[in-house]
Amino acid sequence: MPYCMYLRKSRKDSDHPGQAEEDVLIRHEQLLWETAQRLGLQIEAIYREVVSGDSIAGRPVMQQLLREVSAGDWDGVLVVEIERLARGDTQDQGAVAKAFQYNGTKIITPMKVYDPNDEFDEEYFEFGLYMSRRELKTINRRLMRGRQASAKQGKYIGGIPPFGYEKQKLPDQKGYTLIPNTDADTVRLIYSLYLGENSLGTGELATVLNNSGYRTQKKHFWSGSTVQKILSNPVYMGKIKIGYRPKVKVFENGVQKVIRPVKAFGEYTLIDGLHEGLISEEEWYQAAEKLKSSALVHTTKKYKPQNPFSGLMKCQLCGYAMKRQTNARGGSMYCVTPGCPCQYTDVATLELQLLEALRQSLSAFSHTESERNVIADEIKRTEQQLVQLRREQERLQRQLGNLFDLLEQGIYDKSTFVSRRTHLEEQLAALAETAAQLEQQRGLTQTKEAQAAALIPRIQSVLDTYLHLNSALEKNRLLKTVLRRIDYLRPDRDTPPALTLYLKFED
Ligand SMILES: [Zn+2]
């Protein structure tokens, strides 16, 4: 994700005559580096406008930047304030606004990130102080229409092709269509099993597929919901969806948000695709009908995350994510991989075990803390060694110098001189290497110290608050402040589960 900086002095800066122009730009650059670091942005170029022309025509660096933005080279441009990009006549401002808008290039200032992809970023439109709101809306609509027009022609406008298809560039025109691949037969099988005599449910169907060796697009095991996705996608009867996930503006706790809800079947438009369907329309509607009636049986409940270990816990035997299953005791964690000998354990048990493991790692760190003096001593010793080394280096250098005198005075003959010199140079090279190693070692000790010190208060706060939290979502967020991953191991019921923690150090 490449980003660049654009630095330009403006007339405003001359209002502080006490500051040299260079100082102003250096201060601005510093500010932008801090912003980049805070937001984790990768800066790959810095543009400095040396001339202070007001119009784009008078600003060659700006022209270059606009060309690159128009080519889609940058994900975002960092500037001290948005006015640095375009000031002056409205035509210029329009050109800047359009270039950024068309390419979805973000404008990042220390105060705010302006995102043109977010059509509800009001302030971006106000940056369109330069471009009227109506004008921008028209452009946006035109872009949307472009996509919709493609879809209306039956082209495939999605990113990743659906399971069973490959994306293929259309000959002699813009856009893509789909062609069946080797997974197409699996799609046909899913429909025929679902509509077949045995009348399998989606969960049972997943088990049948897994046991017969079928795998999903990501080469993982099928589940009820992945099967359901196949059964409800009209792409398989040769159709293209339009207006499937439109953006909707909502207010949540007084904060404006944009959501893209998946629309239910019947709420979006279907168009005949250019691609070939894998099953008949009749079959597809039959499957849709069956899905709908089975959905009515289940009471619809609003989805609420229930798994505090979500995104963290992996089965150590097969490496796949552990899932949570509801039971009377507040749920249990189990491995979904068919045939994996991994045994389940109750969530509540694992929570206590995890907290105990965290407490232990904390006391290991605190131990380190009491040993901090020892480490400080170690660093001091390394530094003393380095001082010693440098003295030795100087001594050898002097000897090397003396050698020349001895040669000149005729005390050493040529061959003695050469052999002494080689010997001294070898000693010097060995010293330099030792010094480099010592420096590296000192660096490592220091970083490890700093990382451990930063983690201690975070772990302490998990230990203090975890059991007071009521929702799995809050618990999950808290765990993720200190953990990257938890490996779960329980090969048989007689052994208690073992957890391996991967702590989240900085970097
Ligand atoms: Zn497993």
pLDDT for 135 equals 56
How far apart are the CA of 344 and the centre of ligand 1, in A? 10
Q: What confidence score (pLDDT) does residue 17 get? A: 53
Q: Is the pLDDT of residue 51 over 50?
A: yes
SS3 59: coil
Question: What pLDDT, on the 0 to 100 scale, is given for residue 91?
Answer: 65
Q: What is the pLDDT of residue 128?
A: 46
Task: Give the mean pLDDT of 464-485.
Answer: 91
Instruction: Taking residues 74-83, report their average pLDDT.
Output: 86
As a whole-number percent, the residues of the chain with pLDDT over 90 amount to: 23
Span from the CA of 314 to the centroid of ligand 1 (angstroms): 8
Give ion ligand 1 contacts, CB < 5 A: 315, 317-318, 335, 337, 340, 342
Higher pLDDT pick, 351 / 424: 351
136-140 LR contacts (CB < 8 Å, sep 24+)? 136/97, 136/101, 139/98, 139/101, 139/102, 140/101
Report the separation in Å between the CA atom of 345 and the middle of ligand 1, taken as the mean of its atom positions: 13
**Mean pLDDT of all residues in the chain?**
80
Residue 116 has pLDDT above 80, yes or no: no
Residue 107: other Cβ atoms inside 10 A: 24
pLDDT at 130 over 50: no
CB atoms within 10 A of CB 484: 12
Lowest-confidence segment of 109-123, 173-187, 346-360, 481-495 by average pLDDT: 109-123
- 156 contacts: CB under 8 Å, gap ≥ 6: 167, 175, 176, 177, 178, 240, 273, 274, 275
CB–CB of 271/239 below 8 Å? yes
Give the Å distance between the CA of 306 and the centre of ligand 1. Answer: 20
pLDDT digits (tens, 9 = 90+) for 6-40: 988 765 555 555 556 667 778 888 889 888 888 88
Higher pLDDT, 198 or 465: 465
Residue 432: pLDDT band (50, 70, 90) is confident
> 226 versus 219: which is more confidently predicted?
226
Query: Two tokens at 284?
Result: 């597809």
Q: What is the pLDDT of residue 299?
A: 43
- In the reported structure, the alpha carbon of residue 266 is separated from the centroid of ligand 1 by a whole-number distance in angstroms of 39
CA 165 to chain centre: 27
CA 115, 480, 506, 488 torsion-angle sign: negative
DSSP for 11-49 reads GGGGG-TTS-HHHHHHHHHHHHHHHHHHHT-EEEEEEEE
Calculate mean pLDDT across residues 400-409.
Answer: 82
Predicted local confidence at residue 77, as pLDDT: 93
Instruction: Using the mean position of ligand 1's atoms as its centre, give its distance from the Cα of residue 226 in Å.
Output: 19
Distance, CA 325 to ligand 1 centroid (Å)? Answer: 15
Question: What tens digit of pLDDT does each residue of 440-463 get?
Answer: 877 877 777 777 778 888 899 999
Residue 298 pLDDT > 60, yes or no? no
> How far does the centroid of ligand 1 lie from the alpha carbon of residue 217, in Å?
20
Specify which of 51-55, 192-196, 296-300, 446-450 reaches the highest per-range mean pLDDT.
Answer: 192-196
Per-residue pLDDT at 218 exceeds 80:
no
- Residue 101 pLDDT exceeds 80: no
Q: How far is the CA of 311 from the centre of ligand 1 (A)?
A: 15
What digits encode the pLDDT tens for the residues 220-264? 888 888 899 899 899 999 988 776 555 555 555 555 555 555 555
d(CA 229, CA 262) in angstroms, rounded, equals 12
Query: What spacing in Å lies between the alpha carbon of 190 and ligand 1's midpoint?
Result: 25
Token pair of 507, please? 């970097």
pLDDT at residue 139 in the model: 59
DSSP β-ladder status, 332-335 and 269-272? unpaired
Return the pLDDT at 71: 77
